[in-house]
Chains A and B, each alone.
Chain A
Amino acid sequence: MIEVRKLEKVYPPVVGGLLSHNEVRALRGVSLSISDGGALSIIGESGCGKTTFGRILAGLESYSGGDIAMDGVALNSLPNNERQPYFRRIQLIHQDPYTALNPSHTILHAMAVPLRIQAKLQKKNDDWILNRSKELLAMVGLDPVGTLYKYPHALSGGQRQRVVIARALTVDPKILVADEAVSMIDVSMRLSILNLLSDLRVRLRIGIVFITHDVAAARYIAKDGELCVLYRGEVVEYGQTDEIIVRPVHPYTQAMLSAMPVLRGLEEAGPDRYIPLEGMDDFEGQGSGCLFAPRCRHATARCQEQHPDLVPWDDRLSSSSHHHACFYPIPRNVVARPINRENAL
């Protein structure tokens, strides 16, 4: 069980040069929890803070405020050097399997180096390292003997991502944070990687945090878990995955879901689907209002002035976990529906 409480991240301003920018608030008080073997998908567009969130969880970046608790241990209460072993149990799966493996080393090397650290801790010998490497590669669906001595460039994108997952398993993680883990993999291979992650959840009780802008992949991973929608560092909607998809109440969630392509011929667009063109470049919100107000077509004067908090959506049809941050929550049906055919695939 991992609990994230009011996590804040502020990047200091950069002055001068091409990349100069003001202070950036990447995360504004994000609170979430992931149970052992649970699944949580985080969706949002680039710049919403979802990648920062994953990197903080994996201990690759510091945070400016809030706290992370693992199995009841608040990491803020620990000295710096004692936090690392906790963060190590949260492993990040990078987006790009082509740079996530060292091109100069064989797969065996990639597996053996972290395993050697484990072997030292657990007083195991070199045979254990080799056997464990094979065992983990087999677990992620690779042929251990054929893969061990290969270099990354000899593997396809999907195979590489499997190796990356196997490598993350060397440290017995509690949580895998998959940041756009399938977006650079060929379409035909994506589903099997998603299945692998789901499989690890069941077999090893590893929690999955799936970070993506692809809502359908998010749904696939967290079909029995939760979906969280981030906008500019804030949770704007949260709840059981299918409930959010079928009855989204926040206009931003509705925009994200509308943006999913409709497979014409197999599906028909949802009646409330709306693709905005205006305002798609207005990222800077002004003043104290709702951050999404400048882009929201339902925004009122109140939205410009007051900031909505994350509150439960009390509606007879929804479950208690459904939360939203909107003054005017109205469920809209925006997602595509499959057309019923006898000859369905």
Chain B
Amino acid sequence: MATANLPTSHEHIRPWTPPTFWSIAWKALRRKPSRMLGLGILVFYVLMAVFGPMFYPANLPTNPANIYASPSWTHPLGTDFEGTDVLALIVTGSRYVLYSAGLAAFFTVGIGAILGLVSGYFRGWPEAIIMRIADFFLTVPGFPLLVVLSTVWNFGNPVSMGLVLGLTGWAALARAVRSQTLSLRERSFVEAARGLGLSRRQIVFGEVFPNTAPYVAMHFLLAITGSIYLEVGLFFLGVVPFSTNNWGVMLNLAFSQAGAMYSTRALPYLLSPLFCIMSLTFGIVLFLGAVDEVLNPRLRSV
């Protein structure tokens, strides 16, 4: 502290180019090793979901002679009640889980953010209507609602699953975004934007929305994990017909067919999907901090 002669801000002003989004993101990730670990886990699962199924045949081979095999070199995670490789089941099942959870989070955040912004900025009757509907979804327990819904609609395919989870899950985000918008619309920059002649669309989506973006992005990631829990839960209970293999189906079969609760030989079969869900959640939680920093300019420079 005694030797450094720091220049003051007025003495050196050099022209500079703005950092790109990617350089900011990379800097934010590098600041904490835990964020890199989170990103690594996420990338690992996304690659698994996108490319993994290509290495396996459409119908995985069964082998009645080798059921409930212990982990080995040929079957790193053992085999299931039909003698199918558990690793193969995990890899092929990941695509459904991630795809539908991603869609569900997309719908949740899309619906929630737009309705929250609209009700918070315009107030009046749009707010009254949207918030009453949101209250309905918040007070009716979500999971039982999905179970009831599954009796009238088979939403087993990933797009339908994402849509259903999105339509039932937006309310909490809408309420949070609305309350943020209520406070943001009173700031003078919103008033200044009105005075400068910006359109309502520009003000709501161009000025107000970016201030809620860090929260919305974090909600997106958390919605992914929430959706995974819900869909896996639905499959585990067996209320949604099994159309494809996925982690939820695995848990269900491990429980109902293999009796994993009563015997230890099916333990790898039961624990593998559980571990995947846990580690994916863990990765997302570790990654969250970086998202906040990237989207929130105030956190960046210091």
Residues in A lying within 8 Å of B, measured CB to CB: 58-60, 84, 87-88, 91-92, 94-96, 99-106, 113-114, 117, 143, 145-146, 149, 151, 153-154, 164, 167-168, 170-171
Contacts and interface: CB of A to CB of B under 8 A. Distances in A.
- Chain B, interface size category, equals 20 to 34
Interface stretch (B51-59, B206-214, B239-247): B206-214
B15 A146 contact: yes
B196 A149 contact: no
B123 interface: no
A153 B206 CA distance: 19
Contact of B298 (A87, A99, A151): A151
A125 B162 CA distance: 43
B13 A113 contact: no
Sort A-B residue pairs by CB-CB distance and give the 4 closest, nearest first. A104-B210, A149-B18, A94-B188, A114-B196
Contact of B198 (A60, A103, A114, A151): A114
B187 A59 contact: no
B74 interface: no
Contacts of B297: 103-104, 151, 153
B189 A102 contact: yes
Nearest to B189: A102
Contacts of A105: 207, 210
B301 interface: yes
A88 B196 contact: yes
Contacts of A168: 192, 196
B195 interface: yes
B298 A153 contact: yes
Interface string B162-173: 000000000000
A59 B195 contact: yes
B197 A117 contact: yes
A103 B298 contact: yes
Contact of B192 (A59, A84, A94, A143): A94
B189 A149 contact: no
A332 B18 CA distance: 58
Given A146-B13, A149-B16, A151-B297, A102 B210 contact: yes
B31 to A, nearest CB: 18
Contact of A58 (B15, B195, B206): B195
A51 B108 CA distance: 42
B157 interface: no
Contacts of A154: 301
Contact of A171 (B16, B197, B207): B197
Given A102-B210, A113-B202, A170 B187 contact: no
Contacts of A101: 189
Given A143-B13, A149-B17, A153-B298, A102 B207 contact: yes
Contacts of A106: 18
Nearest to B191: A60
A18 B162 CA distance: 44
